[in-house]
Structure 1
Amino acid sequence: MWRYWVGAAAAIVLIVGGVFWWRSTASAQHHTARHAAATATTEAGDEPIPEPPAASEKTREEKRFLRSDHDKNGAISRDEFLAARRRNFAKLDVNGDGRLTFEEYAVKAEEKFTKADADKSGSLNPAEFETTRVARKAKASCVCQPKNDDGD
């Protein structure tokens, strides 16, 4: 019985190896064909295919860093780092005493519950609860280039 298991495992290894080998040769042929087509285009007197435009030098993190560096000295101090948190805390601290009570913390949730409780029963039925669902923005769809008939 063990011979069958060993034979099956060997067959699986050979199949997986064959798939990887086939994909690597197909990929190499694809790149060679693309390079040959680009070379043929330039040799035929046509203008070469222009390079795609370069991406902006500033990455998302660089932009985020620059937004946080309020005094533009190239470093983010502790106060600059915590500034957004302080603003958010100040919005919640309605009475300005520097402390958050549960009521101050949960004021938006209380308002949301009161607005959803249409029948003013003090509890939410399934239809009322559904109105409290967070509306999420749809992800931006990918603008993909259609493939040509030759596989590009």
Structure 2
Amino acid sequence: MGRIFAGAVAALFLAAGGLFWWQGRASNETVPQPLIGAPPPPAIENLPEGDPDAVGEAPPMPGEASSQSREQKRFGRYDRNRDGVITRIEMMGSRVKAFKALDRNNDNLLSFEEWAVTTSDRFATADANGDGKLTPAEFATTAPKRAAAPRCKC
């Protein structure tokens, strides 16, 4: 019984000590003060003037347009290490999302063999010079065929 009581007292002392230590550290954190004699922050100049009669907040600024083409973006998704070529491992690693297309026997289970054979064949077909790497031009041949847009029945 004495050991249990001593253990409980020790646990309380440890918890209280930790609490006091934690509170002490929190009170020691100070807000940084500006240095005395430091130059003031630079003034912002040449800001556009707003309409004084405008109501509400300004609309959000439009984002910058990407200078990459669709194929360059698609190539970039596969080129994980950004070295300008797609290796077999990079190509196969990103094909996991094509599960349904790779499941040949439609059992909703993708065996490694189903996945690896289809992906490896696709890579081999795209690798025209057989060097084991896809250049951007070779990779462009792997693009999925786009469905024709439905015609308007006006």
Per the normalisation by structure 2, the TM-score is 0.30
Per the normalisation by structure 1, the TM-score is 0.30
Q: Which has the higher contact order (CA 8 A, sep 6+)?
A: 2
Q: Which structure is higher in helix share?
A: 1
